[in-house]
Each structure stands twice: as C-alpha cells, then as structure tokens.
Structure 1
Amino acid sequence: MTGARRARLYEELLLESRRYLAAYVLFNQAVADHLGLHPTDVQALSLLTAAPGPLTVRQIADLTGLTTGSATRLVDRLERGGYVAREPDQHDRRRVLVTSVPDRVARVTAVWDDLGQTWQTLLDDHTEDELEVITRHMRRAHELSHVQMERLRSRPKPD
C-alpha cells in the first residue's frame, strides 16, 4: 500500500469514526429518552450486566469514569427505578454489591433486542476473518479509550 493511499484511508477512517461515535452517542440518548433514563444510566446498566458478577459502587465509578459520589447518585437513580439492588457482600459484610434486577433490566434488553436485529445485518456480509478483525479492533479501542480517559482526567481542564 502506498503512503498516499494509506494516508487517504486513515483520513477516511478518522472521518467515519467521528461520525460513528457521534451517531452512537445520539443513538444512546434516543434509547435513554425512550426509557426515561439518563444516557449514563443506560451505559452503566450495560456495563453492569456485562460484568461477570455484582459490582461495588467503586467498581462502577472506575468503569464509568465517574467519581464515587456521582456513581453513588447513579446507583441511587437506578435503584429508585428498580433496575438494581444493593446487597451486602457475603464475603465481606462491610462492602455493598450492586446487582441488576433481571425483570426490570429486561425492559432495557427488550429495546436493545428489538433494535439489535437491524444492527446485526451490518455484520451479516462479513467473513469470519473480517469479524475477528472488527472484534480485535473494538477490544483494542475499548482498552485505549480507558487509557485516554485516564490521561484526560489527570490533565488540568482548559480555561
């Protein structure tokens, strides 16, 4: 691949990535509006249900990049909505674990499932090798985003 072609492809990918991310943020807002939730609450539920088990508020704060105070308020909202419950940790009674409430989370899952079939068609014409590349890219982008979020949090905010 020539340097000029690679540069053009990077430029095109950068533009499409910006458009994709903006569209996803706006899509997330539409889902949240439809459910009567805050967009951060929708994503926190997604992370909570993707976790291998219950999480502490501190772990939720770490996953979302929120302060522990903001994560506590997020969990408070989700608990009031019936989406999560706080339970004592059976191994350490000083800790409280946040667990999703399956019946209530099913409301969110139903919206995702309804919309997900259409999203699935985007991947239907890809080969298995291409799906592996896309998955690897998404995994690496996820990891990089956490590194970049930490970098941003450690910098002073611009005036």
Structure 2
Amino acid sequence: MPQKSPVRRSALLAELSTESRRYMAAYALFNQAVADHLRIHPTDLQCLNLLSLEAEPVTTGRIAELTGLTTGSATRLVDRLERAGYVTRERDTADRRRVLVATVPERMAEFGAVWGRLSRDWAAMFEAYDDDEVALLIAHMRRTVELGAGQIARLRSGEFDAAQGGA
C-alpha cells in the first residue's frame, strides 16, 4: 500500500467534503425536478423507487422501514400515492388483518419510462469507468446506504441532540 502524504490526504478529504455536499445537493434538486415532473412529492418519488425494488406488496410498516419515516408519516405517504393512482391497498389473503400496499402496474410503467429515459445518460457516464472503478462505486453506494440508515435512526431517536447537549 502506498505511503499517504498527510498534506495531500488532508487536501483530498477537504475536497471530498466539498464535493460530497455538492453531490447531495445536486441529487436532492434532481429528485425534486423528477418529482415535480411527475407531480408528486419528492419523498413519494423515492418511496415508489423503493417499492419498485420489492418483490411483493408490502405493509405500511415496511414502507416506514424502507423510508425511515414514522408509521404515521408512512401512512400519509401511502394516502398520497393512492390518491395519485400509484398504489392500492389490499387485504393480505394469508392474514386478513394485514393490509398490503401494492403498486399499480400501469402507473409504475409510466414511472419506469421516465427513469428509463433519464438513466441513459447515467449509464453513458458510467461507461467511462473500468470494472474496478464501478465495483468501488457500488461498494461506496452500499456503505452510504448503510451509514445513511444509521444516521436517520440517530436523528429520529434524538441521540444526535442528546450527544450535542440538546443543541
């Protein structure tokens, strides 16, 4: 492993911090623009994205887990998606007490078509990377998802405020 220069490392970490902030802001603004295009809330957009990755209909509790929202907020999110025609609620045939949230295939096809058109440019950008770089990006994204979920939990639990002396 090459020797790290403390000065270069410090400069790189400072640049990484700056670019990370730009990256997160750019993604949030991109997410807002896609949501505006679809006439839905940005959180609803990401919920649809997550639901499209699920193999089966899920409970509202599962949606809360996926999004990091409280169950009350997840219920309101499902209400909005249902009004917009993206999901339906249906009784679980195995347990009639449970209600499952299912996506509406036609609406998800519309949703997928928008992402499909947008993803072409992303795919072209990734073509510039070799396999090792793509693997690094995948590892980074997975670690970011895990870290983000932990940070969401800390923020929601109040741990962050307690650690800061309530500030």
Listed as ranges, the matches of 1:5-154 within 5 Å are 5-154=8-157
Structure 1: how far apart are the matches of 2:58 and 2:129?
35
Structure 1: how far apart are the matches of 2:6 and 2:57?
48
- Runs of 5+ unmatched residues, structure 1: none
**C-alpha displacement of 1:48:** 0.7
Secondary structure of the equivalent of 1:126?
A: coil
Secondary structure of the equivalent of 2:125?
A: coil
Structure 1: how far apart are the matches of 2:20 and 2:50?
22
Secondary structure of the equivalent of 2:101?
A: strand
**C-alpha displacement of 1:153:** 1.1
Structure 2: how far apart are the matches of 1:11 and 1:121?
28
Structure 2: how far apart are the matches of 1:53 and 1:10?
41
TM-score in terms of structure 2 length: 0.90
Structure 2: how far apart are the matches of 1:102 and 1:10?
44
Runs of 4+ in 1 over 4 A off after TM superposition: 156-159
Deviates more, 1:138-147 or 1:48-57: 48-57
What fraction of aligned residue pairs are identical, expressed as a percent?
Answer: 55
Larger Rg: 2
TM-score in terms of structure 1 length: 0.94
Secondary structure of the equivalent of 1:97?
A: strand
Deviates more, 1:29-38 or 1:4-13: 4-13
